[in-house]
Amino acid sequence: MARSPAFTQPDGFKLLPGYFGPKAQRDLAEAVLQSFETAPLYQPTMPRTGAALSVQMSNFGPLGWISDQQGYRYEPTHPATGQPWVAMPQALLDLWDAVGHWPDPPQACLINWYRAGARMGLHVDADEDAKFAPVVSTSLGDRARFRLGGPTRKDPTRSFMLSSGDVVVLGRASRRCHHGVDRIYPGTSTLLPESWRPGRINLTLRRVHAPD
């Protein structure tokens, strides 16, 4: 039996299990669901093909990451309402200060919403000009199997379980690694209100532009 090549943990990758406790998770989840009243979840589509992603999205902050048939980009307003995104919750600004090790504040927080069956294929995040700034991710709700690879699509991958309250910091080399979400595990969290179960929220804080 051929063995798969060894996975070397990329430089700058940090998993912080249970960073947010139950109360902080509830407050964050409430802020996210509240933001959907102003900046509703929308169904992004793939550039060119127009195929729908299985994940739904919204954003916090001065800029939001958008995907539609025109391409991927950051925009100051919601694609459907034309309104600005809701301001970043203080808890997320504090998180960036505590774990980001970056002098400039985050400009975007992409909100990914996974229902049962939603997934995210292996990709690299490359739409930010500030390409050395870290990405800081927070998971809320049902658990997910997250996959991390290397700089090329052919590099070996490793999977990690991400649970509600976990934070992942993608600094330095890990920032340019392939990654994706294989699946979520319905019924593994009772954080979200019943009408939002099963489901998982992922928040990714990003610096988009070099210092302004």
Q: Kindly state whether residue 142 participates in binding Fe ion, applying the rule CB under 5 A.
A: no
Touching Fe ion, residues 115-134 (CB under 5 A): 125
Touching ligand MD3, residues 141-180 (CB under 6 A): 144, 146, 168, 170, 174-175, 177, 179
Distance, CA of 93 to CA of 88 (rounded, Å): 7
Among 108, 125, 143, 171, binds ligand MD3 (CB under 6 A): 125
Q: Kindly state whether residue 184 participates in binding ligand MD3, applying the rule CB under 6 A.
A: no
CB 148 to ligand MD3: min, Å: 6
Give the total of residues touching ligand MD3 (CB under 6 A).
17
Among 110, 118, 184, 205, binds ligand MD3 (CB under 6 A): 110
Contacts 24+ apart (CB under 8 A), 77-81: 78/39, 78/40, 78/42, 79/42, 80/40, 80/42, 81/38, 81/39, 81/40
Q: Kindly state whether residue 135 participates in binding ligand MD3, applying the rule CB under 6 A.
A: yes
| 107 DSSP assignment | -
Binding-site partner at residue 170 among ligand MD3, Fe ion, none, CB < 5 to 8 Å by type? ligand MD3
Which residues are within 8 A (CB) of 2 and not within 5 positions of it... i.e. 6 or more apart?
none
Distance, CA of 29 to CA of 41 (rounded, Å): 14
Could you give the maximum distance between any two Cα atoms of the chain, in Å?
56
Q: Kindly state whether residue 58 participates in binding ligand MD3, applying the rule CB under 6 A.
A: no
Tokens at residue 152, please?
Answer: 């090329």
Tokens 């990451």, located at residue = 65
Residues that bind Fe ion (CB under 5 A): 125
Residues near ligand MD3 (CB under 6 A) are 110, 112, 120, 125, 135, 137, 144, 146, 168, 170, 174-175, 177, 179, 181, 202, 204
